[in-house]
Structure 1
Amino acid sequence: MFIEQAYKNRRNLVAYIPFPLVFLGLMVANFMVSAEDTNTIIRNEIERYGKSMFFLSNLIPFAFLLLLLLFWVKYMHKQSILSLTTSRPEVDWNRVFFSFLIWGGFSTLLIFISYQSNPESFVFNFNLRPFLALALISLTLIPFQTSFEEYLFRGYLMQGIGLVSKRKWIPLLLTSIVFGLLHGANPEVGKIGYILLVYYIGTGFLLGIMTLMDEGMELSLGFHAANNITGALLVTSDWTVFQTDSVLIDKSEPSAGLEVIFPVLVVFPILLFIFSKKYKWSGWKEKLLGKIVLPPVENQNL
């Protein structure tokens, strides 16, 4: 069982507090600094350094945060990185790549359909040299950014809150809501409105459900990486958190309509159905709502 992988840490629950507090503090500080006008700050930084360098500078801190989190888990909690990642004997990279391809392919298809339906809403922006630089940055560093978020929310906090609450639905609920709310500082939320948090919180629930049902983070790691890499490479806008030398620039005026609700109510359930059939998920009620029963520490090894 995935949450139970951290059972040894129940004797050191206080150690779960510092890292999330520091991260949340950084997010709050960032929100307060940028609250005046996030888009203006981003535009000024892009004019000063260029899109690729600005993008690079925003991704590098996540690589350090990921390494710091894994170091904290290994040396403060004395927990293996494998047990933080999955309940399987080893990380199932086929699951990571399958999830990446499924969501990356679906996202690409949606972007293609949108472009074909409303080409006047987009500017074709492909330029080989800047795009190659963007592709190198995206494929190298975005996995650090998305993996940090997954390890923090679907791994570290999911297990830590589970140890305290002894109920699986509590860490699922809390990590999903906090994950969504932390995206409230994104410029697209300021542009579209807080209704967009429905999508972010819904995404948090999707990733949490995948983790609990599949007893590991492999699917969520693949999904999250595909989501951000596809967005960075294929289509961005001057009001989104990613503003890159992507193939397309979306010039349309955003609205909080079907595009916010449709993925949460339709696309995400279909995705869960696909994964459930491929990986033969069962026991939904127990895995998502059941009690967490910890084995005796002395009888188990991680």
Structure 2
Amino acid sequence: MFIQNALPQKPNLWKYIIGLIVVVFFWRGLGSIPLIAAMFTKASDLGSIDMTPAGLADLLGANLFLSVMLSSFVLGLIGLFLYVKFVHKQSIRSLTTSREKIDWGRIFFSFFVTILFIGGFLYAGVMMEPDSYQWNFNKEAFIILAAIVLLMLPLQTSFEEYFFRGYLLQGLGVATNSRFWSLVITSSLFGLMHIFNPEIQKIGYAVLTVYIGLGFLMGIMTLMDEGLELALGFHAANNMTIALMVTTDWSALQTDALYVSSAEPDLGGMLLFLGGMFVVLLGIFALRYRWKNWGNKLFGKALVLEEETTA
């Protein structure tokens, strides 16, 4: 059982509280240094800088801004791994999966299925509404973008998965002994993490339902499959595909993507697309990995005593 991987180390509440502080320090504290340093090289007066993602991308260049932004997540991942290893005395494997070793086949299967689904959807959007998309291909900039996306974006998405669906899901599962509440709380926290994204100004706080929904989607993958592998593959593919294919002036990801979209955001369309991902992707994974006992996996106890498993 994935959540029970935290049990042999007898997790204490104080360890998780300090762990949150340490991870946030690495992620938001140390992680802000590259961005601040980059801004100093471009402007002597930081107070005059437009601090929105679009403004910073204009100041630094989209690729430099993307790389320094992603570096904060890389530092967060390093801090999380170090804390889990040396304070919780827990292996990275046990933070990843209930299996004896990390199943890379699951990661890559989820990755490629997601690329086909999201890439196909985005391409269909371009074909159906060509007037809303401007071809933006610049060979040199796109090659640099592709290198950043391949090398750094999977580390950003991995940090979020290990932090929310790994560290916090296991910790809350132990604390509440409830798979359902650990799913609800971590999914909600994942959504609220995006509360300062520029999409909020454009669409409103209702867009947080999309991020919370994504948290539920990846949380269900994790609980049903007893490991992070599918969520790791999905999250990386989702962000990488969007970063390479489409950008807008109001989104958090400002990139030299193939297309610039001028279409107005549609919350209803976003939620419809999210619902499609729930049906299609969870359906594919359920068939591929023969998921059973949904009720117990999503609503049952997080901790199962040995006598319960052998009864």
TM surpasses 0.5: yes
Question: Is 1:27–1:182's contact at 8 Å kept on the other side of the alignment?
Answer: no
Flag structure 2 segments of 5+ consecutive residues without an equivalent.
Answer: 33-48, 307-311
Give the deviation of 1:11 after TM superposition.
Answer: 4.3
Q: Percent identity?
A: 44
Give the deviation of 1:27 after TM superposition.
Answer: 6.7
Matches within 5 A, 1:159-178: 159-178=170-189
Give distance in 2, aligned partners of 1:190 and 1:254.
11
Give distance in 2, aligned partners of 1:266 and 1:254.
18
Which residue of structure 1 lines up, in the alignment, with residue 126 of structure 2? 115
* Number of positions where the alignment pairs a residue of Structure 1 with one of Structure 2: 287
Give distance in 1, aligned partners of 2:115 and 2:24.
29
Which residue of structure 2 lines up, in the alignment, with residue 286 of structure 1? 296
Equivalent residue in structure 2 for 1:201, among 193, 212, 215? 212
Question: Is 2:111–2:237's contact at 8 Å kept on the other side of the alignment?
Answer: yes
Equivalent residue in structure 2 for 1:242, among 235, 247, 253? 253
Give distance in 1, aligned partners of 2:28 and 2:60.
23
Determine whether 1:14 maps to 2:14. yes
Give the deviation of 1:23 after TM superposition.
Answer: 5.2
Partner amino acid, structure 2, of 1:230:
T
Cα-to-partner distance string for 1:131-176 (whole Å, 9 max, x where unaligned): 0000000100001100000000000000000111011111101000
Which residue of structure 1 lines up, in the alignment, with residue 271 of structure 2? 261
Give distance in 1, aligned partners of 2:284 and 2:199.
30
Partner amino acid, structure 2, of 1:120:
D
The two structures, once aligned, show a CA RMSD in angstroms of 2.0
Give distance in 1, aligned partners of 2:233 and 2:50.
29
Partner amino acid, structure 1, of 2:262:
K
Equivalent residue in structure 1 for 2:232, among 221, 230, 248? 221
Question: Which deviates further from its counterpart, 152-161 or 45-54?
Answer: 45-54
Give the deviation of 1:255 after TM superposition.
Answer: 2.8
SS at match of 2:267: coil
Determine whether 1:251 maps to 2:273. no
Give the deviation of 1:92 after TM superposition.
Answer: 0.6
Determine whether 1:274 maps to 2:288. no
SS at match of 2:195: helix
Give distance in 1, aligned partners of 2:82 and 2:23.
15
Matches within 5 A, 1:106-185: 106-185=117-196
SS at match of 1:183: coil
Matches within 5 A, 1:54-133: 54-133=65-144
Give distance in 1, aligned partners of 2:13 and 2:105.
33
Give the deviation of 1:65 after TM superposition.
Answer: 0.8
SS at match of 2:249: coil
The structure-2 alpha-carbon separation of the partners of 1:105 and 1:11, relative to structure 1 and needing over 3 Å to count, comes to: closer
SS at match of 2:291: coil
Give distance in 2, aligned partners of 1:247 and 1:236.
8
Give the deviation of 1:266 after TM superposition.
Answer: 3.0
Give the deviation of 1:295 after TM superposition.
Answer: 5.5
Cα-to-partner distance string for 1:188-226 (whole Å, 9 max, x where unaligned): 122111221111111100100100100100000000000
Which residue of structure 2 lines up, in the alignment, with residue 50 of structure 1? 61
SS at match of 2:194: helix
Cα-to-partner distance string for 1:85-116 (whole Å, 9 max, x where unaligned): 00111111110011011111111101111000
Higher relative contact order (CA 8 A, sep 6+): 1
SS at match of 2:12: helix
The structure-2 alpha-carbon separation of the partners of 1:255 and 1:222, relative to structure 1 and needing over 3 Å to count, comes to: same
Give distance in 2, aligned partners of 1:237 and 1:54.
15
SS at match of 1:293: coil
SS at match of 1:17: helix
The structure-2 alpha-carbon separation of the partners of 1:191 and 1:169, relative to structure 1 and needing over 3 Å to count, comes to: same
Which residue of structure 2 lines up, in the alignment, with residue 299 of structure 1? none
Give the deviation of 1:273 after TM superposition.
Answer: 1.1
Give the deviation of 1:182 after TM superposition.
Answer: 0.9
Give the deviation of 1:292 after TM superposition.
Answer: 2.6
